[in-house]
Chains A and B, each alone.
Chain A
Amino acid sequence: SQQGEEDPQALSIQEGENATMNCSYKTSINNLQWYRQNSGRGLVHLILIRSNEREKHSGRLRVTLDTSKKSSSLLITASRAADTASYFCATDEGEETSGSRLTFGEGTQLTVNP
């Protein structure tokens, strides 16, 4: 079963509003990553937060990580219609300097209405 679980499963907001998506996981992790997927095809990496980090920013994105609660949140500020997509969290349980498989959640479908 998938380790990451996102909520909500679907989110519909108006352009300009903020969108918050949450992710919970079960095991210890090296890092947690957020990806975006348009139209059910390739994923685009958005942001990575390491297990010893609590918050990270990238443009309009803000990610938090609470390892004690095994949860993360992705905030998109001042949303745009072009932000409409599915957003997935993925946990990496591997060694810090090696590749390893990611465990993905089921995703949140975000719809931003113009």
Chain B
Amino acid sequence: GAGVSQSPSNKVTEKGKDVELRCDPISGHTALYWYRQSLGQGLEFLIYFQGNSAPDKSGLPSDRFSAERTGGSVSTLTIQRTQQEDSAVYLCASSLGIGVPTYNEQFFGPGTRLTVL
């Protein structure tokens, strides 16, 4: 597609439920990133995928958070047993990635606003 897309755009869930957030990166981009942004704050890194390499999960805040990237394209961020503090906008980005002198310009999707009641 023309840009990074994310779904759903908004998600309201009850505390304790699991949620799945989806990201479709730009075609041909090998690097994919998930960030989280709480109200009025900057972006917090969560996880980074680069091609077939093991993902950098160092930003995941707890073991309730996990992410997959299937076929080197679409990614799903899963939050299990959601808590109210998980409420935030979850942003996905992609970049051309390794081996290309792209200087890592990242293209962001519109985000998913998650509200945990």
* Majority secondary structure of chain B interface residues (helix, strand, loop or mixed): loop
Report if B12 contacts A (CB, 8 A): no
Cα-based distance from A105 to B31 in the complex (angstroms): 21
Interface string of B94-106 (1 = CB under 8 A from A): 0111111111111
Which residue on B lies nearest to A109, using beta carbons? B40
| A101 x B59 contact (CB < 8 A) | yes
| B103 x A92 contact (CB < 8 A) | yes
| B111 x A101 contact (CB < 8 A) | no
| A99 x B111 contact (CB < 8 A) | no
Report if B7 contacts A (CB, 8 A): no
Interface size class of B (residues with CB under 8 A): 35 or more
A99 interface neighbour in B35, B41, B42, B97, Cβ under 8 Å: B97
Binds B, one of A13-21, A37-45, A63-71: A37-45
Which residue on A lies nearest to B35, using beta carbons? A104
| A45 x B48 contact (CB < 8 A) | no
| A–B Cβ pairs within 8 angstroms, 20 of them | A30-B103, A33-B104, A33-B106, A35-B108, A40-B37, A40-B39, A42-B108, A43-B91, A44-B108, A48-B105, A88-B42, A88-B43, A94-B104, A98-B104, A99-B104, A101-B48, A104-B35, A104-B42, A104-B43, A106-B42
Interface string of B73-98 (1 = CB under 8 A from A): 00000000000000001010101111
| B42 x A41 contact (CB < 8 A) | no
A-B contacts counted at CB < 8 A amount to: 87
A side interface size, CB within 8 A? 30
Q: Please give, as numbers and ranges, the residues of chain B lying within 8 Å of A103 by CB-CB distance.
A: 45
Report if A55 contacts B (CB, 8 A): no
Q: Please give, as numbers and ranges, the residues of chain B lying within 8 Å of A97 by CB-CB distance.
A: 98-102
Chain B residues close to A by CB (< 8 Å)? 4, 30-31, 33, 35, 37, 39, 41-45, 48, 50, 56, 59, 89, 91, 93, 95-111
Cα-based distance from A88 to B93 in the complex (angstroms): 15
Q: Please give, as numbers and ranges, the residues of chain A lying within 8 Å of B37 by CB-CB distance.
A: 40
A106 interface neighbour in B41, B56, B100, Cβ under 8 Å: B41
